[in-house]
Amino acid sequence: MSENVAVIGVGHSKFGSRKDVNIPELAWESIKPALDSANIEQKDIDFFVVGNAGVWSSEAAIPALMAEYADLAPKGSMRVEAACATGNAAIRVGYQAIKSGEADVVLVLGIEKMQESPNPTVIELIGRFGSYFWEFENFGLTFPGYYALHGTAYMMKYGATEEDYARVAVKNHYYGAKNPYAQFQKEVTIEKVMEPKYVAWPFKLFDCSPITDGSACVILASEEFAKDVEDKIWIHSQGVGTGTANLSRRSDFTSLESARYAAELAYKRAGIDMDAPYKYLDGANVHDCFTAPEIIAYEDLRFAKRGEGVQLIRDEQTYIGGRIPVNVDGGLKAKGHPIGATGVSQAVEAYKQLLSKAEPGRQAEIKHGRWLAHNVGGTGHYSYVTIYGLEKLKK
């Protein structure tokens, strides 16, 4: 068994419309730099995990494709799916494989090629990440509609406005413009965000994350294997929560209970004070599939009290230099949201930030040596919160 698990290498493809490559080629764009940065070869991998939802792309046997193309056969593998939280779920499988002593080195790949299907097909398939027969078939809810329910509930209860949600898009595009791997690399203004027609009120085009192709990869290693690796970070803790399938079974649309639960577990296991966890963190990546969920995440993660998350974005407290920098890689909103890769991409960002390897203009100040990743599947159907650290967790 390994007391601690390290991230010893990372890789990231360009996110966007990647019709220039097939799925194995897209995967190799992140696998190769991950192996190189970890200074290992394929023979050193004991096990590999692939996070892939995959219902919109041509290939189904993704791990076997990776084994063939990346020369990983006959090593053991697993494909993981947990809706939009697939990437962090894949990391959890790799983390547990090392913690249990089953492996010393695990490659975790997140990959999605969503644009192999037409947009209406992808929109319908994403809509099935809730309760398909009850909510999608009977009421026609699409994914923007699901989160619009949360966005309007937050507006009614706490006085948030469409302009407040636009501020989230402005921030995330500001940092996405500085990220060479991001799908969108142009800044936007509040006025620009407010221009388009509604997708699902109160969300307009720039309130919604895009349909994205991309891959991200991390190499996880046991404490023994990682002891001589210079550039590494550690997984301090993980928390996992699950929500009800039917939204009608939930009592509050201004919060995701599964995310709150996952955060509490992660904070407790990492020894972080739940009254003000932002005082122990240098930054966070939160699941901004739409703009309103980012603000809701501020409160679920206890960066702000209930109803006060909106004030953080108004006061620019989630920019670098504020209370806690959030999504300074562009987030799902501007970096892109290739569903299986998103949670792994968050881990890549934690590695880069904690080791001060982020691109100019988006490197946070590292004082505490900890970074948080919050990855949500569906509308809180699955929630993962992972805390990464520069140093091994002190018991």
Catalytic residue annotation: 84, 337
Strand 233-242 and strand 382-389: the pairing is: antiparallel
DSSP character string of 136-203: IIHH---HHHHHHHHHHHHHHHH---HHHHHHHHHHHHHHHTT-TT-S------HHHHHSSPEEETTE
The token pair that represents 39 in the structure block: 């200074």
Computed from CA positions of residues 129, 135, 140, 146, in that sequence, does the dihedral angle turn out positive or negative?
Answer: negative
Return the SS3 of 271: coil
The token pair that represents 28 in the structure block: 């190799």
Cα→Cα distances 289→104, 206, 211, 391, Å: 34, 11, 10, 31
The answer to whether 105 and 225 are in contact (CB under 8 A) is: yes
Return the SS3 of 203: strand
Question: Of 380, 339, 378, 379, which Cα lies nearest the Cα of 241?
Answer: 380
